[in-house]
C-alpha cells in the first residue's frame, strides 16, 4: 500500500522532469513563440514553489525560520549544475520569474508595513530609537571597513553598499524566538522589536541615499543631502497625503458593490506608492512599506463581512514572496567559494554583523539586560537580502560578494535562536 | 470639504499620469535596464486593476455582470489612442502583463473547476447532456457557415475556430439571473446549469481537437481521432491519477507545519496539470479545469482551521483574473469596424450564437418550458473569450475577427438577463 503511493508520487515527479524545457529560458521560448509562452513560466513556478515549501518545512521541523529553508533549497537548486543537472539553470536568468519575484518583494514589504504601527513605534520611544541608531551606524562602519580590507580594488560605492546590507535587523526572526519562549512581554523584547521596526525605516533611508549616490555618480555633500531630503520628503508626503486619502478612498470603496474591492484597493495602494517611490528615484520597496504603514484596518471599517486586509493579502503573499527568496538562493554561485578570499569576506561580514549589533546594548540603561539586547539584534533577514539583490542589479556587488552576503544572512539567522534561548534561560 | 477630497483624488491621478513611462513597453525598459524593470509593470497593473474595478462597478450598478464592465473599460483603454491619448498603448504588447493575464486565466478555469462537481453533473443526467450537445453542435455549424459566408478567402481552420468560439455557454451569467429572481430551484434552471457545465467540458475538447488540427496542419480523420483520443485520455488519466493522488497529497500536506501549505499545494496542483496539458499538446486551461474538478475540499479535511481552497484562491483570482478580461478588451481595435464587413461578421456571429442555442429547447420533453431553456443558454462569456485569444495567438483569427467575436460575447451577455427576466415573469 505504501509503495503504491510512493510509485504514484514518483510518477508525478517523473512526468514533471521528463517534460522540462531543458536549457530554454521562458524569455527565449516566448520570442520563438513555439509553445504556449506560459509553459516554461509554469514549470519555473512549480519548481520554485515546491522547493520553497519543502525547504521551509524541513527548517520548521528543526525549529528554524522557514525563510532559511527557502534560501538554502534555492542555493541547492541553483547549483545542481555543479552535479551536471541543468534542468533549472534557466531560472537564474528568466525575466518572467524575476518579475514575479519583484512583485513578491513589494507584497512582502507591504505586509511588513501593515504589521508595523506608527503609534506603537512612538510608544516604545527613546530607548528603541537609540538602540536602532546604534545598531545601524556600527554595522555600517564595520561593514565598510571589512569591505575595504578584503576588496581594496573596489570603489567607495561597493564599500558603502556592503555596509548598508548589514544594517537592518530581521523583526520576524527575533519576534518569533521571544514569542516561542513566552517572553514577548519583557521590556528588552519590546525595546528590541521597536528598534527592529525603526531599523527597517532607517535601512530604507540609507538604501535610498546610497542608491542615489550610485545613480548620480558623485558623493558630494550636496548630493547626499538632496537624496536624504528626497527620501524623507517622500516618506513624510506619502504618509501625510496617504493617511488622508486612505480614509477617503476606504469610504468610497466601501460603497462599491463589485467583488474583491477591498483586496484590489489595497493592492493598487501598494502598487501606486511603490511606483511613485521609483519615480522619485527611491526603491519601490520604500513605497510598499509606506503603503503598509498607512493602510490601517480602520480605513476599511465600513466593509461588510470581508476579511482584514492582511488576511486578504496572505494568499497572494504565500504565492509570490517565496519566489523572491528561492530566487535569491538560486543566484548564489557556490563555485565563487572556490576562491578562498570569498570565504574570508563571508566570515568578515558575519563577524561585523554580529559585533556591530553588540553596541546596541550599550545605549540603554544598566537595569536592562544589555547583552540580551545585543544578541536579539543579530539576525539579518529579508531587508539585507533585498539590499543585496538591488546592489547586484546596480552593478556594485559582484557575484562573489553577493554570495558572501547571503551566507552572512544565513549564519546570523541560524545562530541567533539558540544563543538567544540560552541567554534568556540563563537570566 | 467635498472639493478638498476631490482635489486630493485629482492630485493622486495627476501624479500617476505625469510619471507614466510614455511609449516605452515594459519589455523594452527591461532590456535597456534604465530604471527598476518592475516600474512599467506596476504602472500597467495599476491602470488595468483600476479600469477593471471601475468598469465592474458601473456594470454592477446597472445590474449587469461585472465581467462586461472589465471588457468594455478595456476596449476604452485600448482605443484611447484614437483620441490621441497614448499612455496605455504599451499594454497591448507588453510581455509581462501578458504573462500575468495568462496565469489569471489558469486561476479562473481552476476556480470554475472547483465550483463544478463531477457527482452533481452525473445527477442532472440525460436532459442536461442532450441540451449541452445540441447547444454545442448547432452554434458550431452555424458559426462555420457564417464564417464561410463572410470570409470566403479564409481557410477551414478559421471557420472551425470561429464556430468553436460560439459553443460554450457562460454558467456564471445564467446562474446569476436565475439566482437574482429566486428561480434556481425550477427544473429548467437545473437542466440549464448542468448543461452549461457539460458545455465547458465539450468546449474544451473541441478546442483541443481544433488546436490539434491547426498544429498538425492536416484535417484527416486519423488526426482528428488522435487529438480527440489524446484529449479524452488526458482528462480521464488526469482525473483518475489526480483524484487518487489528491487525497494522498492532501494527507501529507496536512502534516506539514510551514505556513500557507494549503494555498501553495492547490496552486502547484493547478500549475502541474496546466503544464502537463500543454506538454501533451492541449491548452493549459484544460489542465487547470481538470485540477479544479479533482481538488475537492474533502482532500484537505485534515487541515486545521484553514479557509477552504476556493476562499484561499479568491484574493489571487481578484488580482489576476481581471487582468485577462481588461487585456482582451484592450486588444479590440475599434478602427477595424471602419470596415463595414466586420460589423456584418459581428452581427452574423451574434445571430448564429443566439439562434444556435434555441435548438437546445427542442431536445427536452414538452412539459418543460423549451423557450426558456433556449434563452438561458444564450450568454457566451469567459470560455468564448479565451478561445478567441488562443485563436489570435495561433494566427487563425485576424484582428478584425477577434474584435467581432468580443462584440458577439458582449451582445449575447447584455441581451440575456432582461430577456430571461421577462420570460420568467411571463411564465
Q: Where are the domains of chain A?
A: 2-97, 99-319+331-426
Q: Does the beta carbon of A271 lie under 8 angstroms from any beta carbon of chain B?
A: yes
Cell triple for residue A23?
Answer: 536549457
pLDDT of residue B318: 93
Task: State the smallest CA–CA distance between residue A319 and chain B in angstroms.
Answer: 6
Q: Does B172 touch chain A (CB under 8 A)?
A: no
| Contact between A275 and B19 using a beta-carbon 8 Å cutoff | yes
What is the pLDDT at residue A420? 83
Q: Does A13 lie at the interface with B, CB-CB under 8 angstroms?
A: no
Whether B88 contacts chain A with CB within 8 A: no
Q: Of chain B residues 284-303, which have a CB less than 8 A from chain A?
A: 284
Q: Which of A38, A203, A36 is nearest to B394 (CA)?
A: A36
DSSP letter for each residue of A313-346: HHHHHHHHHHHHHHHHHHT--GGGGGSHHHHHHH
Residues of A with Cβ-Cβ distance to B38 under 8 angstroms: 99, 102-103, 106, 274, 278, 284
Note whether A267 contacts B: Cβ–Cβ < 8 A. Answer: yes
Chain B nearest-CA distance from A372, in A, is 28
The per-residue pLDDT string of chain B (427 residues; one tens digit each, 9 = 90 and over) reads 566 666 666 666 655 555 555 444 444 444 333 357 889 999 999 999 999 999 999 988 887 778 888 889 999 998 888 888 877 888 888 899 999 999 998 998 898 888 777 676 666 678 888 998 999 999 999 999 999 999 988 888 899 889 989 988 876 677 777 777 777 778 888 888 778 777 877 887 787 777 777 776 666 677 667 767 777 788 788 888 888 788 888 888 888 888 888 999 999 999 999 998 888 777 788 788 889 888 876 677 666 667 788 889 999 999 999 998 898 889 888 888 888 888 899 999 999 999 999 999 888 888 888 889 999 899 887 778 888 888 888 888 998 899 999 889 888 888 887 888 888 777 5
pLDDT in tens, B153-169: 888 889 988 998 998 88
Interface touch B271/A46, C-beta < 8 Å: yes
| A vs B: CB pairs below 8 A | 203
Sorted by sequence, the CB contacts under 8 Å of residue A180 that are 6+ apart come out as A63
Which of B:194-233 have CB within 8 Å of A? none
Fold designation for B113-317+341-426: Na+/H+ antiporter like fold (1.20.1530)
Sites in chain A below the pLDDT cut of 70: 1-35, 118, 120-124, 171-172, 216-220, 223-224, 227, 297-298, 301-305, 427
Candidates A47, A54, A260: best to mutate against B (most CBs of B within 10 A) is A260
| CATH number, domain A99-319+331-426, options 3.40.190.10, 1.10.1380.10, 3.40.50.300, 1.20.1530.20 | 1.20.1530.20
The alpha carbon of residue B275 is apart from the nearest alpha carbon of chain A, in Å, by 6
pLDDT of residue A140: 92
Which of A188, A191, A182, A71 lies closest to A126, judged by CA?
A191
Distance from CA of A76 to the nearest CA of B (A): 19
Task: Please identify among residues 110-169 of chain A the ones whose CB lies closer than 8 Å to any CB of chain B.
Answer: none
Query: Quick check: B24 contacting A, CB < 8 Å?
Result: no
Closest chain A C-alpha to B417 CA, distance in angstroms: 18
Interchain CB distance below 8 Å, B276 and A19? yes
Rounded to a whole number of angstroms, the distance from the CA of A56 to the nearest CA of chain B is 6
A99 reaches B (C-beta below 8 A): yes
pLDDT at B22: 45
**Which residues numbered 375-404 in A keep a CB inside 8 Å of some CB on B?**
393
B16 in contact with A, Cβ within 8 Å? yes
- 3-state SS, chain B, equals CHHHHHHHHHHHHHHHHHCCCCCCCHHHHHHHCCCCCHHHHHHHHHHHHHHHHHHHHHHHHCCCCHHHHHHHHHHHHHCHHHHCCCCCHHHHCCHHHHHHHHHHHHHHHHHHHHHCCHHHHHHHHHHHHHHHHHHHHHHHHHHHHHHHHHCCCCCHHHHHHHHHHCCCECHHHHHHHHHHCCCCCCHHHHHHHHHHHHHHHHHHHHHHHHHHHHHHCCCCHHHHHHHHHHHHHHHHHHHHHHHHHHHHHHHHHHCCCCCCHHHHHHHHHHHHHHHHHHHCCCCHHHHHHHHHHHCCHHHHCCCCCCCCHHHHHHHHHHHHHHHHHHHHHHCCCHHHHHCHHHHHHHHHHHHHHHHHHHHHHHCCCCCCCHHHHHHHCCCECHHHHHHHHHHHHHCCCCHHHHHHHHHHHHHHHHHHHHHHHHHHHHC
Q: Do B57 and A256 touch (CB under 8 A)?
A: yes
- Which residues does residue B380 pair with via DSSP β-bridges, in sequence order? B169
Is some CB atom of chain A closer than 8 A to the CB atom of B103? yes
Say whether A268 and B46 touch across the interface (CB within 8 A). Answer: yes
Tell me how far CA of residue B343 lies from CA of B36, B161, B196, in angstroms: 43, 19, 28
Residues in B 30-69 with any Cβ partner in A closer than 8 A: 30, 35-39, 41-43, 45-46, 49-50, 52-53, 56-57, 60-61, 66, 69
pLDDT computed for residue B27 by the predictor: 45
Amino acid at each position: 500500500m505504501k509503495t503504491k503511493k510512493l510509485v504514484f508520487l514518483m510518477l508525478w515527479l517523473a512526468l514533471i522532469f521528463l517534460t522540462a524545457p531543458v536549457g530554454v529560458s521562458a524569455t527565449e521560448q516566448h520570442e520563438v513563440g513555439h509553445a504556449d509562452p506560459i509553459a516554461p513560466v509554469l514549470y519555473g513556478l512549480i519548481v520554485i514553489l515546491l522547493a520553497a515549501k519543502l525547504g521551509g518545512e524541513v527548517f520548521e521541523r528543526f525549529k528554524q525560520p522557514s525563510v532559511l529553508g527557502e534560501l538554502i533549497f534555492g542555493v541547492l537548486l541553483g547549483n545542481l549544475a555543479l552535479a551536471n543537472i541543468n534542468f533549472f539553470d534557466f531560472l537564474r536568468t528568466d525575466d518572467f520569474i524575476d518579475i514575479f519575484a519583484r512583485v513578491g518583494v513589494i507584497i512582502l514589504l507591504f505586509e511588513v508595513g501593515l504589521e508595523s504601527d506608527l503609534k506603537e513605534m512612538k510608544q516604545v520611544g527613546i530607548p528603541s530609537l537609540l538602540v536602532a541608531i546604534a545598531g545601524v551606524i556600527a554595522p555600517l562602519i564595520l561593514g565598510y571597513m571589512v569591505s575595504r580590507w578584503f576588496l581594496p580594488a573596489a570603489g567607495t560605492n561597493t564599500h558603502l553598499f556592503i555596509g548598508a546590507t548589514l544594517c537592518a535587523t530581521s523583526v520576524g526572526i527575533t519576534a518569533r524566538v521571544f514569542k516561542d519562549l513566552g517572553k514577548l512581554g519583557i521590556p528588552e523584547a519590546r525595546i528590541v522589536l521597536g528598534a527592529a521596526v525603526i531599523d527597517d525605516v532607517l535601512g530604507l533611508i540609507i538604501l535610498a541615499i546610497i542608491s542615489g549616490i550610485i545613480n548620480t555618480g558623485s558623493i558630494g555633500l550636496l548630493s547626499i543631502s538632496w537624496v536624504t531630503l528626497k527620501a524623507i520628503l517622500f516618506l513624510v508626503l506619502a504618509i501625510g497625503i496617504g493617511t488622508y486619502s486612505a480614509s477617503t478612498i476606504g469610504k468610497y470603496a466601501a460603497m462599491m458593490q463589485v467583488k474583491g474591492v477591498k483586496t484590489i484597493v489595497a493592492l493598487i495602494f501598494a502598487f501606486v506608492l511603490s511606483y511613485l517611490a521609483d519615480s522619485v528615484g527611491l526603491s519601490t520597496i520604500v513605497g510598499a512599506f509606506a503603503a503598509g504603514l498607512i493602510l490601517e484596518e480602520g480605513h476599511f471599517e465600513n466593509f461588510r463581512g470581508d476579511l482584514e486586509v492582511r488576511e486578504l493579502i496572505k494568499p497572494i503573499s504565500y504565492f509570490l514572496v517565496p519566489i523572491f527568496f528561492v530566487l535569491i538562493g538560486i543566484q548564489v554561485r557556490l563555485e565563487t567559494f572556490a576562491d578562498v578570499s570569498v570565504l574570508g569576506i563571508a566570515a568578515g561580514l558575519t563577524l561585523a554583523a554580529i559585533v556591530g549589533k553588540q553596541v546596541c546594548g550599550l545605549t540603554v540603561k544598566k537595569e536592562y539586560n544589555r547583552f540580551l539586547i545585543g544578541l536579539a539584534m543579530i539576525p539579518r533577514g529579508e531587508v539585507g537580502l533585498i539590499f543585496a539583490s538591488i546592489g547586484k542589479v546596480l552593478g556594485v556587488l559582484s557575484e562573489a560578494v553577493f554570495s558572501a552576503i547571503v551566507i552572512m544572512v544565513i549564519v546570523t539567522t541560524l545562530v541567533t535562536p539558540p544563543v538567544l534561548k540560552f541567554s534568556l534561560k540563563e537570566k
